[in-house]
Amino acid sequence: KDFSEQLRDGVGRFLGDYFFTCSLIEFADIIADNVYGPVYMYYFTMRSTANPWPKWMGVMHGYEIEYAFGQPLARPSLYDKNYLETEQHFAAYIQQLWADFCTTGAPAPYWPKYNRIERKALVLGEESIKGDHRILVDVHGSYCRLIDEGKTVAGQGNCGLLFDFAVLRFPKNEHIKKK
C-alpha cells in the first residue's frame, strides 16, 4: 500500500476504535464486573459480498445482523454466487451460536468468558465455519490505551506534545507528496 492508503486505513481504524470499539470494551469491563452471569465478546471479521461499501472499509459495525437473520439463505440473489455457499454456511453457523446462547446461556464450549483482565474475544469469520476458533486476548487493548493516553494529554492542554510528535514523526513534511 502506498502512504495515502496507509493513512486512510489508519485514520479509519482510529475513528472506529475511538468512537466504537474502545467504548464497547469499557462497557464490557463494567458489565463483567457488575452483572451476575457470564459475558461473551466476539470480534467479527466476515465481510459480506452484499456489502455496498468499498472493500478498504473492511467489516463494519452491525454487519453480523444479516447473518444472524439468515439473509444469505433468504435472499441469495444479493450475494456473489461464487461465494454464496460460504456465506450461507456462515449464516447457519451464526444462527446456531445465537440459538445456543439463548437456550443455554453459553454460545459454544470454545467461546471463552470475557473478563477485564484477559479481555478474550472469539473471532467470528470465515475460518469459524472450518473449525478454526481463534481467540483474541486483550482485544484492541493497546489501541485503546493509546487513545486514553491521547485523551489525557489533550485534556491537560498539552497539545504541544501532539505537535512535537507530528514534527518528530514527519520531519520536513516528507509525508506530503509534491506535485
Domain extent listing, the chain: 37-139
Please state, in angstroms and rounded to a whole number, the distance separating the CA atoms of residues 85 and 73.
9
Q: What is the pLDDT of residue 158?
A: 53
Q: Which residue has the higher pLDDT, 166 or 32?
A: 32
Which cell numbers in the block locate residue 137?
486476548
Which amino acid does the sequence have at 35? V
Q: How many CB atoms lie within 10 A of CB 12?
A: 13
Q: What is the pLDDT of residue 152?
A: 80
Assign 124 to helix, strand or coil: strand
Please state, in angstroms and rounded to a whole number, the distance separating the CA atoms of residues 57 and 121.
22
- Quick one: CA torsion of 104, 43, 20, 17, rounded to 10 degrees? 150
Q: Which residue has the higher pLDDT, 161 or 51?
A: 51
Q: Which residue has the higher pLDDT, 56 or 171?
A: 56
Q: What is the pLDDT of residue 63?
A: 92
What length is written for the chain? 179
Out of 15-19, 50-54, 87-91, 163-167, the most confident range is 87-91
Q: What is the pLDDT of residue 61?
A: 86
Taking alpha carbons only, the member of 111, 109, 114 closest to residue 123 is 111
Among the residues of the chain, which ranges form H helices?
A: 3-16, 22-34, 65-68, 71-74, 84-104, 141-155, 159-169
Whether the pLDDT of residue 173 is over 60: the answer is: no
Please state, in angstroms and rounded to a whole number, the distance separating the CA atoms of residues 42 and 100.
15
Proportion of the chain above pLDDT 70, given as a percent: 86
Out of 19-23, 46-50, 165-169, the most confident range is 46-50
Q: Please tell me the least confidently modeled range out of 113-127, 135-149, 155-169.
A: 155-169
Taking alpha carbons only, the member of 111, 105, 104 closest to residue 128 is 111
Whether the pLDDT of residue 6 is over 80: the answer is: yes
Across the beta sheet with 135-136, the strand order is 42-44, 121-124, 135-136
Whether the pLDDT of residue 172 is over 70: the answer is: no
